[in-house]
Amino acid sequence: MGHRKAQRTVALSAAALMMVGGLAACGRDSGGSASASASVSAVTIDDSAATGTINVWTAGDVGSQMKDIFDQFRKDNPDATVNVTDVPWSELDSKMKNAIAGNSVPDLVMIGDVAPLITTGGLQQVPNGVMTSDDMVQTALDRSKDNNGNQYGIPAYIETRVLFYNKNVAAKAGVTSAPTTWDDALDFYAKLKSVDGVKYAIGMGVGDESKAYQYILPFLAQAGGSALTEDGSAWNFDTDEMVSALTYYKKFFDEGLSDPAGIGDDAVTNFV
């Protein structure tokens, strides 16, 4: 994609964190370079090697985890320079919006929610021919489409909310198996926190930046509730089940088991 500041960029999403396909589109030209005057419509690229400078933003510490991918891309495209910048999750949304407003977006970005950025007109559609959707989860693809079905991001991976814990810490706490009930969980994490060196026993999302709903909705389901009415036509939050889920969720912070600041970029380091 050359050495310029692009007005529009291919976005990557995070329920499906979107990344790999967009990289293949950068640095090649078949009338498809993103520039200050580029159209948001999809372009077609050729199969020649990429050239120029490609600026990539990844989220949290994902950039370092994808080092092998970037190294292979550099090897396959020796005339391309790939600059990777890890941006904290807490700053990514606002940083990207500011970049669009300032006409200084990266060529590729990993981000959690593509939809609000699509409406800014600051994104380039995924170039034609760089992805095959047959092997991808359709709901992940749909999260990065506009109302007309145009694709603005490529899923890199899909996250699944599961319970996992550090067995070494658990052994020091005297617990040998995962909790199976809400009450068991509070007791389980209280024991983990009692171990020397453990500041918080479990990470819970707080606010919009860390997508707290992803942590609350499983509790709602476990309480027997649903976020939608039975016919799926409206939200269904004003229920006893939601009160139960939120009350339980709040206990993790009230009892000091979770950081009231939410999930930070040091979550992995704290876990190990």
The tens digit of pLDDT for each residue in 189-203 reads: 999 999 998 989 998
Q: Which pLDDT belongs to residue 38?
A: 37
Question: What does the DSSP assignment read for 204-218?
Answer: ---TTTTTTHHHHHH
CATH of region 10-158: 3.40.190.10
Identify whether the C-beta of residue 215 lies closer than 8 Å to the C-beta of residue 249.
Answer: yes
> What digits encode the pLDDT tens for the residues 204-232?
888 876 778 888 999 999 999 999 999 98
3-state secondary structure of 142: helix
Mean pLDDT of 49-57: 91
Q: Is residue 11 scored above 80 in pLDDT?
A: no
Q: What is the CATH number of domain 167-271?
A: 3.40.190.10
Which pLDDT belongs to residue 15?
41
Rg, Å, the chain Cα set: 21
Q: Is the pLDDT of residue 187 over 70?
A: yes
pTM, full prediction = 0.62
DSSP 265: T
Q: Of 142, 145, 103, 141, whose CA–CA distance to 8 is shortest?
A: 103
Whether 160 and 16 have beta carbons less than 8 Å apart is answered as no
Cite the residue boundaries of each domain of the chain with CATH code 3.40.190.10.
10-158, 167-271
Asked if 79 contacts 49 with a C-beta cutoff of 8 angstroms, the reply is yes
- CA gap 144, 114 in Å, rounded: 5
Instruction: Rounding to the nearest 10 degrees, give the CA dihedral for residues 222, 223, 228, 229.
Output: 130
221-252: buried (b, 16+ CB within 10 Å) or exposed (e) per residue? eebebbeeeeeeeeebeeeebbebbeebbeeb
Output the pLDDT for position 65.
84
